[in-house]
Structures are given as structure tokens and as C-alpha cells.
Amino acid sequence: MPTRPRPSSTFDFSRHVRADDVVTWPQGTGEPLGLTRRLVEQRHALPPLELFVGMMTSKTLKPEHADRFRFRALNGAGTTRQLTTANLADIVPAYVSAVPGLVRSGAIRVDVVLLRVKPHPKPGFFTVGVMADFIPAFVAAARCVIAEIDERLPVTSQDALVAEADIDVLTECDSDEILLPDPEPDEIDMHVAARVAELIPDGATIQVGIGGLPVAVCRALEGHRDLGVHSGVISDVVVDLVEKGVVTNARKGIDEGRIVTGGLFGSRRLMNFADGNDALEMRSSEYTHSQQVLARVQKLYAINSGIEVDLTGNVNSEVAGGRYLGAIGGQVDFVRGAQAAPGGRAIIALPSRTPDGKHSRIVASLEGRPVTTTRADVDIVVTDLGVADLRGRSFSERASRLAAIAHPDFRDDLVKSVSKAG
């Protein structure tokens, strides 16, 4: 490892990549912008490369970069969506829990990894600070690990640690960092969230995602007590719950007293909260999404969303209007894990109709669109208009309960489709 790192503006990728290499980096806030921007700028001087990406939130990659890059993606979320909607990204359908094993086995190839790092107080280690989800597997599988030092990163530990010996090339960061303040929920989000919060008991451990609806759910939980957090990612709103004494992590059953997450998707406030905080553990998805781990969490309430739910309970969280907009992600991992946990439940929460009011989110059939979470796995579905508990329910009971929480503009047609189907 070089002892005198150079600024990423002077970094030459041609010395480190080979023809048809697969290059990857952490999702979201973990993207090393100095390195990824240089990679794009230098692409015409490089051999053909494949970029393997998850959820991006930067504007680094654009469709026109397909002139030199091939794209593979885990999802169509964030700014990755511009690649998937242009049919430029080849989607790899995989549960989050499965990705590290696929990388370690070589089924998903990784040759070069780009990282943001900061020296860790533990001698011989760097921290990646904000994203631990696939990092251990990426580093173990890669031929070359290139990292930029970014002193703005929070000091976190556990699976966010990378040994100095595993870093092949070190540069100095000379770019902005990615910060993601929480969006403001809309009125419908707040109606859905209120119904979700009524289902969650004191002492539960919650899993939530990012976006307006998860923010609304967390705000609706401000009157609860002794909640815990075990989640793939967390955002600023979790800090609110900690500071208000709502989240204590005292009754989780495992990892008591600590928030467990694989990623920090937030503003400077969240980064400061995480910095050196022993009450927060950064763990890889081999832990955060593990069925064996989730089954040990007391009263785990998994809260996820979807694009649409059909009248038998199948959830599509991937495709809308013929475009790949979402993800398989960790939804199935947490839906199954929550129901295996003592006292746990799995909630799919979504508005009853699309924002333009033209389409129902409860549909008669998915009509060939993906089934992300199967009806046999789905537990509770919540919209702004009600709650449908589907545990142990027959097809006809499911259809009746789901039609009842659909928007009135579409409910009659859904009821007719139930009657027609017998």
C-alpha cells in the first residue's frame, strides 16, 4: 500500500484495470465520488469495462456512458433508474442476503472495488464509515481495491472495517460527499403511517427503508416506548427517535442496547450521530438480512413497500409501466425473517392509488409483472384506507380484504373481478 496517497484528480485508472474487468463500489452514500468521476472522465482511455452497481444517488453515471461501459445492476432505485429505464443495465435478480455469497463464489464477478475510507483508531484498519452491506465480500473477491481517504466519514466499526493490507491503491479524496437529508412525507404517506404505527407494540424492533413513507412511519411512532432498530439502512429520522427516548434497543433479544444497520443514508446529522457511537453497529448484509439472525430478534416488525399488490396478496416491487424502477432488495429477507421472529410481523405499506390518481395500487392481477414477494409470504397489507391481515386467509378472503382497502375509485371494478373469478 502506498505511503503517500495522491489526489484522485491525478489518479490514472489505466494502470489498474484490465479489459472486461468488473468494477464496483458501495451503494448510496458510500460512493467514492472522486474515483467514480475520474473513472467516467477517463473512460475513452480505458479498455471496455463492466460496472456493477446497486442503488446510486449521485449523477455520476449517465446513459451516454454506455459508449464505453456495460452496466449490471441490482435494482432500479435512485439514480440507477435512468440506466434501467433506458434498458442499459442488465438486472441481477437477487435477495440482499444472497449477494455476498454470490460475490464470494464468483457467481457475481468483482475485479476492482472503489471505496471511501478513513483511518480507524484500531491500528492497521480503515473504516468505510457509511456502508457495510457488501463490503467484506467485495474486498475478499476483488483483485484490486482502490480507496480514497475521506476524513469526513464517521468512525464506525464491525463490518465497516477494512484492513490496510487489503487496500492496493490509496488516493486522497478531492470531491464532494453524498449526503441525503430525509424527504418530507406527503399527506397520504402520513395516513398510511398512522395505520402502520397502530399495529406496532411497545418493545418491538423495527425495520424500515428510506423515503417519505418510512419517515412518516417513524414519526408516527414517536409515542411508542422501548423500540429497537435492526435495518438494512437507516436515515436521519432514526436519530429523532433516539433523542426522544423512543428507540432504546432495550428489548431486542439480541444486540440489546444497539442499533444494527448496514448503511447510513442521511445528512451530516446522521453521520455525526454515528461517529464513534458504540450504540450503533455497522454490519454486512450477511448479518443484517440473515434468516438465522432475524429469527432471534424479539417482536421484529418489518415495514416495507411495493409498487402494487394483487388480490391474492402477491407484491410487485420492481416494475411499473414496463420499466424496472424498484428492486427485489431485502424485502423478502425481512418479510420471512420477521414472521420467523418471536412475536414478529411483516407489513407491506403503500398508498391506495398512484400520485396522479389514475391507477390503483391494489390490482386484480399482476398480469405477468414480477412477483417480488409471494402471496404465501405476505402477512399484513396496509394502505391509507385500511389494514388487510392475510395470515391464514383463503383466496376469496384475501380478495375481499384487499379490495376493502383499495381506493373507492377502483373498488367496484376490483369487486367485479373477484366475482368474475368466482
Res 422: pLDDT: 59
Res 10: pLDDT: 82
Res 4: pLDDT: 52
Residues 6+ apart with CB under 8 A from 129: 30, 116, 117, 118, 150, 153, 154, 155, 156, 160, 264, 271, 274
Res 417: pLDDT: 79
- Note the pLDDT tens digit of each residue in 132-157: 999 999 999 999 999 999 999 999 99
Nearest-angstrom CA–CA distance, 241 and 237: 7
Res 9: pLDDT: 73
Nearest-angstrom CA–CA distance, 318 and 331: 11
- Note the pLDDT tens digit of each residue in 373-402: 999 999 999 999 999 999 999 999 999 999
The pLDDT of residue 104 is above 80:
yes
Q: Considering the chain, what percentage of its residues have pLDDT values greater than 90? A: 95
- Amino acid residing at 279: A
Res 418: pLDDT: 73
Instruction: Delineate the domains of the chain, giving CATH numbers in brackets.
Output: 6-172 (3.40.1080.10), 187-421 (3.40.1080.20)
Dihedral pair phi/psi, residue 105, rounded to 5°? -80, -15
**Mean pLDDT, all residues of the chain:** 96
- Note the pLDDT tens digit of each residue in 332-363: 999 999 999 999 999 999 999 999 999 999 99
The pLDDT of residue 420 is above 80:
no
pTM over 0.75: yes
- Joined together, the cell numbers standing for residue 136 give 467484506
